[in-house]
């Protein structure tokens, strides 16, 4: 079974803090993705990576950066958290067309 894990289920941070969200997959997938999910807006792609040290912007990359130093790990970084980044963050990985999602991190920025 594919397993995608995320470092935290719930996180509360203050405005201006630097936030790291970690994602690890155990199936040697090349592709990894970060989404945010907000009510009525579905899943919006922030960044994705198709190889180590490679990254591509998704639809809403502003205010975020990513790091992929190892194949199994994909990190999402909020350089200076803002209240409009309060959301559910979902990580996913894929080998081909089917994406496998982690449990999500609910981030609240106060």
Partner 1 sequence: GQQVMQIPQYQHVQEGEDFTTYCNSSTTLSNIQWYKQRPGGHPVFLIQLVKSGEVKKQKRLTFQFGEAKKNSSLHITATQTTDVGTYFCAEYSSASKIIFGSGTRLSIRP
Interface residues with partner 1 (CB under 8 A)?
31, 33, 35, 40-45, 48, 50, 56, 58-59, 90, 94, 97-104
Which of helix, strand or coil describes residue 25? strand
Q: Is the CB of 17 or the CB of 38 nearer to partner 1?
A: 38
Q: Is the CB of 16 or the CB of 103 nearer to partner 1?
A: 103
What's the CA gap between 87 and 38, in Å, rounded?
Answer: 6
Q: How far is the CB of 14 from partner 1 (least distance, A)?
A: 26
Q: Is the CB of 31 or the CB of 86 nearer to partner 1?
A: 31
How far are the Cα atoms of 14, 23, 58, 87 from residue 67, in angstroms, in the given order? 22, 11, 14, 20
Q: How far is the CB of 45 from partner 1 (least distance, A)?
A: 6
Counting Cα atoms < 13 Å in the Cβ hemisphere of 11 gives 25
């Amino acid at each position: 079974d594919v397993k995608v894990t995320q470092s935290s289920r719930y996180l509360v941070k203050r405005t201006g803090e630097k936030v790291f969200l970690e994602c690890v997959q155990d199936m040697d997938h090349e592709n990894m993705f970060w989404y945010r999910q907000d009510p009525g807006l579905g899943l919006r792609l922030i960044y994705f990576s198709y190889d180590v040290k490679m990254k591509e912007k998704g639809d809403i990359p502003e205010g975020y950066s990513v790091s992929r130093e190892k194949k199994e790990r994909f990190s999402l970084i909020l350089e200076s958290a803002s209240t409009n980044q309060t959301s559910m963050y979902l990580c996913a990985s894929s080998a081909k067309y089917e994406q496998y999602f982690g449990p999500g991190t609910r981030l609240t920025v106060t």
